[in-house]
Amino acid sequence: MKNILSIVSAVVSQTLKTSTTPEVFAADLEGRVQAIAKAHSLLTQSGRGEVSLHAVLQTELAPYDHGNIIIAGQDIGLTPKAGLSVAMALHELASNAIKYGALSVTTGRVTVAWSLTDTEIPPSLILRWVETGGPAVSPPTRRGFGTTLIERALAHELDAEVIRDFAPEGMRCTIIIPFTPAFARVVPADTVGAS
């Protein structure tokens, strides 16, 4: 609980610093707090201290999915810390896609796919967010809280590497996370959260 309150406090502080109007602050803060709440709810529902990566993706992306989001990969059981960090990053990616990217138009699509490397020790989880069919993309002119959260928080919390590519045809984000017991484990999809 103390950790969650610390995260909420940091989110409020950073959102305030990067918001241009009270309305923007309220909307951004509400979305971020809801992302935390959804991730926390998934963790408490499982009762085992882990949450399915697939469930995190479905929960965070459900409000935006109108048949235009593809989720693909072998399910992974995330630790509470990893589940919360990944949920927050996904929320920021989805928020940006709704405001500026593929999810801002009816023709846009988002594919979220992941795989494990088998050539490294420890292996790495490679999560790819790929937007297509949206408006032409150009690199952002300012560094917002979402970018900071995605890049710095994941690096700090999970020792992740984040690579963002603002190709004209659609934004792409690749998140590479060392696959250690402190992060996650591969599990059969039907056993994540089972008692």
Structure-model confidence comparison of residues 44 and 135, the more confident one = 135
Cβ-based neighbour number of residue 10 at 10 Å: 13
Instruction: Give yes or no for a contact between 41 and 81, defined as CB atoms under 8 angstroms apart.
Output: no
Share of the chain above pLDDT 70, in %: 68
- 191 pLDDT band, cuts 50/70/90, is very low
The full set of domain ranges for the chain reads 2-188
Reported pTM:
0.75
Mean pLDDT of 27-40: 62
Region 2-188: CATH code: 3.30.565.10
Q: Is the pLDDT of residue 186 over 70?
A: no
Please state, rounded to an integer, the average pLDDT across all residues of the chain: 77
Q: Phi then psi for 193, rounded to 5 degrees?
A: 85, 0
Between 45 and 6, the more confident residue is: 45
Q: How far is CA 180 from CA 56, 59, 102, 159, 169, in A?
A: 19, 24, 32, 10, 34
